[in-house]
Structure 1
Amino acid sequence: MDTRWRSVCRAVREPGEKRDGLLLQVKGAAAAAAAWWVSAWLLPLTVTAFATFTALLALQSTVYRSLWDSAQYLAAMALGTAGAAAFGSTVGVHAWSVGVLTFIGLIGARLQLLGRQGAQVPVVALFAFAGGGGEIDYIGDLVAAAAIGVCCGLAAHFAVAPSPHPDTAQDVTQDLAARAQRLLRALARTAEGRTDEGDSPGDWAGRCDELAARAVRVRAAVDKEQENTRLNPRRPWSSAEESLQRCHEAISMIERLATHIRSIARALAHAQRAPAADKVPAIYAELLHGAAAALECLDPPRGPEDADRLRDCVEDARRRYQDATAVVRKGRLDAPGEWPVYGTALTEAIRILDEINCPRR
């Protein structure tokens, strides 16, 4: 219990996702209570529960998502109530008419425009038709209750809109870039013939998969922050929006780096299993260290503090690439003991340098 209380206190004190989640719960309770009070004052008690449910549905994690989901829900409700009204005013409530209406509602639920709210079409249709006997007056009260709920939910969201957190998005993206840099350093140590704890070649596939999976999670977090800036009354300055866009560009670059790193890891694992004469040239380890240093200078997503230093790091790494290429070319490439992975390892290393020097959007 003490742990939960400390977590709540921390969420109140510190801005971030935990505070936004706690605030969303408070707004949900307030919106539900307001929707029930207004609907009970204006409408029959038989539909007040629908207003509270709709108020909670209208409160999503961001203002943009709340508006979009509310619009989709109201559209789904319009289709469902229209079907219920049509059947109620013509054939009446029977077992077969309930089945036919449900079938039609399930077809309507598949409309892509309604998104995840499409499932509400048959639900609302059955609620209005079977629960309210298909009577027009009941359906009108039901629609009014839903409108009250949506208004209360959106009012609570706009009154205390969730704060965008571009700095948090930058931090998690920077951490992702640091993980990619550590992988490059570990690869360099492997190429040098020394392995620290966790540098076993057998672990490389898992570590590359972990980096790729983390990139997916980080992109989802940045997407949420970008969505949080849309239609938000507490919308940040354009510089914050630009920083979120840089986060996306940095994540894309790191995902491409992860692909190149995986290829190098496979090549080095193959080289370590090869005969003694088939070892990786020492200059190649220096090339990987140089690539890691260049990535550190780039410092995505914030960008390099010293552009000249970044350029020097990339040029130094390119010289090491030329040296490694020269070492490989001096050997007899068709000999059985020749380094069999020179092409893959060198090609992927220069691609990493190209990504760092000229990151694509």
Structure 2
Amino acid sequence: MPRPSDWFVHPRRWPWWQRWRRDPFVVQTVRSTAAATLSYVVALQLSAEPAPLTAPLTALLVVQVTLYSTLKTSLRRVNSVVVGVLIAIAFSALVGLTWWSLALVILASLVVGRFVRVEEFIPEVAISAMLVLGVTQVANTAWDRVLETLIGAVVGLLFNVLLVPPVWVDTAGDSIVDLARRMRQLLLDIGEELTDPYRRPDPERGPESAASPAPAERAVARLHEARLLDNDVADVDAALRQAEDSLRMNPRVKEGLLHRIVLRTGLDTLEICAVVLRVLTRTLTDLAKDRHGAALFREETAEALQETVRHLADVLVTFAVLVTSHSSAGSERAEGHLGEELRAARAARDRAAGMLRSEAEDDPGHWQLYGALLAEIDRVLDELDPDHRGRRLMEELDRHTRAREERRRRVTSLATRARRVS
């Protein structure tokens, strides 16, 4: 039976055309180029400017990899330009262009941009105000700039409405599984180092093929790798946020909320496991420093711990495959393998616990490190347990349902007040 870690084909092994089609950068580049060119053609017909470059600039800014992000960016971009134009018109009517009026325009634009919540387009408020203030025919230039901005925003929005961007769930799922594979490799390396002092030499390679006891430097290296998992989690979180946005307001997606919750809770679980792995490597590092180059455990204990972390490594990948599976057959297969690996991991953990108890009796000075090691293994097994995951999913679904009902009550209350006032 193949191991769960072999189910996942790494994206680097895909054909080039498949990698490009699933690469957000490639997709974004092609879509932005097409939308900007189309908005320029439309602006040439509607704007009085000979080169209406504001329209393609706006399209470049508003066309995002998801429909939700495009709509949000379009509203902010148009809002920032309109506010900047209004500020410029007000100042031109009162004082005109001088060095001190320019300073006041910039200051007012940046402050007002903060209040109107245009987020990343706050500098655009000041830019629009300065460009309009610096021309003689303020009204005509202001109208042309607003018109070109609207053209770019509308074209970019319609481009993503008619040609709906891809759903990036698969890309986020690949990132989650890839994170689990890196965690698995870290656990396998830890298991190998536990048994290195007892590795027998290869007769063909001579006695130098036998590994020496793992020094503290190797344990520190594993601790450093575990800390780097935080960067991997951040990258996966960014990919997952993009996938969540692609599910919002997407007509091709049904049950988008369920997809978002399944992936988000899955990543949260792996993030907790990454934290626990960092603590586990810290425990082994402390023990290695106290051993001063000697073996960390007796041979039978080291072998039992190696078996435990090997099963634990496969549980991580199986869990990732389960939360990213789209078919019921794949989910059932992954769930069955997850149950088998969890039972094997718990059995190996119980054998290792008995041996660690014996070692603690002989070495009472390190009993707290032995206990911490078992507690960290138990924490990972508990986080990956299907029952624990089921409770977490239900809690998240209930929370989102309550939030949706609260928003609905607020809208109903506002509508009722509006009817009473009218």
TM-score bin (small chain): 0.7 to 0.9
2:124 alignment counterpart: 120
**1:315, 1:216 → 2: CA distance?**
31
2:414 alignment counterpart: none
Please tell me whether residue 102 in structure 1 is matched to residue 90 in structure 2. no
Q: What does residue range 53-68 of structure 1 map to in structure 2 within 5 Å?
A: 53-68=57-72
**2:196, 2:69 → 1: CA distance?**
52
| Residues 278, 338 of structure 1: 8 Å contact kept | no
Give structure 2 stretches of 5+ with no counterpart. 1-14, 200-210, 326-330, 394-422
Q: What does residue range 287-302 of structure 1 map to in structure 2 within 5 Å?
A: 287-298=308-319, 299-301=321-323, 302=325
| Residues 12, 19 of structure 1: 8 Å contact kept | no
The CA deviation at 1:48 is 2.2
Q: Which deviates more, 219-228 or 165-174?
A: 165-174
The CA deviation at 1:312 is 4.0
Question: Which of 308, 311, 329 is the aligned partner of 2:339?
Answer: 311
2:40 alignment counterpart: 33
1:341 counterpart SS class:
helix
| Residues 32, 56 of structure 1: 8 Å contact kept | no
The CA deviation at 1:122 is 1.0
Q: What does residue range 241-260 of structure 1 map to in structure 2 within 5 Å?
A: 242-260=258-276
1:3 alignment counterpart: none
| Residues 177, 317 of structure 2: 8 Å contact kept | no
| Residues 68, 245 of structure 2: 8 Å contact kept | yes
Question: Which of 5, 24, 30 is the aligned partner of 2:31?
Answer: 24
Go from structure 1 to structure 2 and tell me whether the alpha carbon gap of 1:286 and 1:130 turns closer, same or farther (over 3 Å shift): same
| Residues 62, 228 of structure 1: 8 Å contact kept | yes
Q: What does residue range 265-304 of structure 1 map to in structure 2 within 5 Å?
A: 265-275=281-291, 276=294, 279=297, 281-282=301-302, 283-298=304-319, 299-301=321-323, 302=325, 303=331
Please tell me whether residue 206 in structure 1 is matched to residue 224 in structure 2. yes
| Residues 191, 268 of structure 1: 8 Å contact kept | no
**1:338, 1:149 → 2: CA distance?**
67
Q: What does residue range 134-173 of structure 1 map to in structure 2 within 5 Å?
A: 135-173=138-176
The CA deviation at 1:114 is 0.9
Residue by residue over 1:76-122, the C-alpha shift from the partner in whole angstroms, topping out at 9 and shown as x without a partner, is 12221111111222233333222222221121233372110111111
Please tell me whether residue 228 in structure 1 is matched to residue 234 in structure 2. no
1:342 alignment counterpart: 370
Amino acid at match of 1:215: V
Go from structure 1 to structure 2 and tell me whether the alpha carbon gap of 1:335 and 1:150 turns closer, same or farther (over 3 Å shift): closer
Q: State the superposition RMSD in angstroms.
A: 3.2
1:61 counterpart SS class:
coil
The CA deviation at 1:297 is 4.1
| Residues 32, 63 of structure 2: 8 Å contact kept | no
The CA deviation at 1:124 is 0.8
Residue by residue over 1:262-293, the C-alpha shift from the partner in whole angstroms, topping out at 9 and shown as x without a partner, is 22212223333434586363333333233234
Please tell me whether residue 185 in structure 1 is matched to residue 188 in structure 2. yes
- Where do 4+ consecutive residues of structure 1 move more than 6 Å? none
2:78 alignment counterpart: 74
Q: What does residue range 38-57 of structure 1 map to in structure 2 within 5 Å?
A: 38-40=45-47, 43-45=48-50, 48-57=52-61
Amino acid at match of 1:84: A
Question: Which of 294, 303, 321 is the aligned partner of 2:349?
Answer: 321
**1:350, 1:13 → 2: CA distance?**
38
**2:295, 2:52 → 1: CA distance?**
81
**Matched positions, count:** 346
| Residues 322, 335 of structure 2: 8 Å contact kept | no
2:384 alignment counterpart: 356
Give structure 1 stretches of 5+ with no counterpart. 1-8
Go from structure 1 to structure 2 and tell me whether the alpha carbon gap of 1:271 and 1:112 turns closer, same or farther (over 3 Å shift): farther
Go from structure 1 to structure 2 and tell me whether the alpha carbon gap of 1:214 and 1:97 turns closer, same or farther (over 3 Å shift): same
Amino acid at match of 2:285: A
Go from structure 1 to structure 2 and tell me whether the alpha carbon gap of 1:297 and 1:92 turns closer, same or farther (over 3 Å shift): closer
1:4 alignment counterpart: none
Go from structure 1 to structure 2 and tell me whether the alpha carbon gap of 1:353 and 1:84 turns closer, same or farther (over 3 Å shift): same
Residue by residue over 1:251-270, the C-alpha shift from the partner in whole angstroms, topping out at 9 and shown as x without a partner, is 22111111111222122233
Amino acid at match of 1:164: V
| Residues 276, 380 of structure 2: 8 Å contact kept | yes
The CA deviation at 1:125 is 0.9
Alignment TM-score, normalising by the size of structure 1: 0.82
Residue by residue over 1:321-360, the C-alpha shift from the partner in whole angstroms, topping out at 9 and shown as x without a partner, is 3333333434565956655521211110110110111244
| Residues 271, 339 of structure 1: 8 Å contact kept | no
| Residues 247, 253 of structure 2: 8 Å contact kept | yes
Amino acid at match of 1:320: A
Amino acid at match of 1:294: V
